[in-house]
Amino acid sequence: MARSSSGIVAGLTVAAVAAVGFLAYQASANVPDNLGKPHTAKSSKAPTSKAPRDKKNPAALPAESGTGERVVYSVDDDRVWLVAANNKTQRTFKVTPSTVDPLPATYHVTSRSNAITGSDGTPIEHVVRFAANDGVAIGFSAAVSGSTAKPDSAAKTGGIRESREDGDAMWTFATIGVKVVVIK
């Protein structure tokens, strides 16, 4: 009796794995070509020149960084702003950039992972992906160790590292579809 029920369980497991594989294939075949790529509409494009800054308060939200709920990431300043729908900054913090930067544009959060291993082999958490550049997926993440060390410049990585505390805030704020504005 035990032998026949283990055969049934094995058969059901094989069927479930095959079904999941088929559904994953269908999902990947139906992903729009522009998912994770910058939108090209003129109204959503971020400025390509450096956005004006408040010289007295360098942590102030840059002018011309969009409107409404959004994450603003300055490539030049290595800083992130989490901005509420009323255009008030909820949080701002410094980050450690990856070796591959996103291009200045407006994106949307396309996927998230609670805990994975980064492309550099580091265990990371609260991954929020929004772009790709040069074949590299780009997103925000926090190293489980809390490290924000600069990545190996010889490696092509897209992980913009935050502290664990800032990573928690990003994870809560930047759900699927939230706008991410990348500026210089």
Q: What is the pLDDT of residue 54?
A: 67
Half-sphere exposure of residue 96: CA atoms within 13 angstroms, side-chain side = 18
Q: Please, which residues bridge with residue 79 across strands?
A: 74, 94
Nearest 5°: CA angle at 180, between 178 and 182? 175
Q: What contacts 104, CB < 8 A, 6 or more positions away?
A: 46, 47, 48, 75, 182, 183, 184
Q: Which residue from 99, 167, 108 is spatially nearest to 133, judged by alpha carbons?
A: 99
Specify whether the CB–CB gap between 169 and 59 falls below 8 A.
Answer: no
Q: 47-56, 95-104, 163-172: which has the minimum mean pLDDT?
A: 47-56
**pLDDT tens-digit series, residues 8-41:** 766 666 555 555 554 544 544 444 444 445 543 3
Q: In whole angstroms, what is the distance from residue 60 CA to residue 89 CA? A: 8
Across all residues in the chain, what is the average pLDDT?
81
Strand pairing report for 159-162 and 136-143: parallel
**pLDDT tens-digit series, residues 93-121:** 999 999 999 999 999 999 999 999 988 88
User: What is the value of pTM for the model shown?
Assistant: 0.72
**pLDDT tens-digit series, residues 110-164:** 999 999 998 888 999 999 999 999 899 999 999 999 888 888 888 899 999 999 9
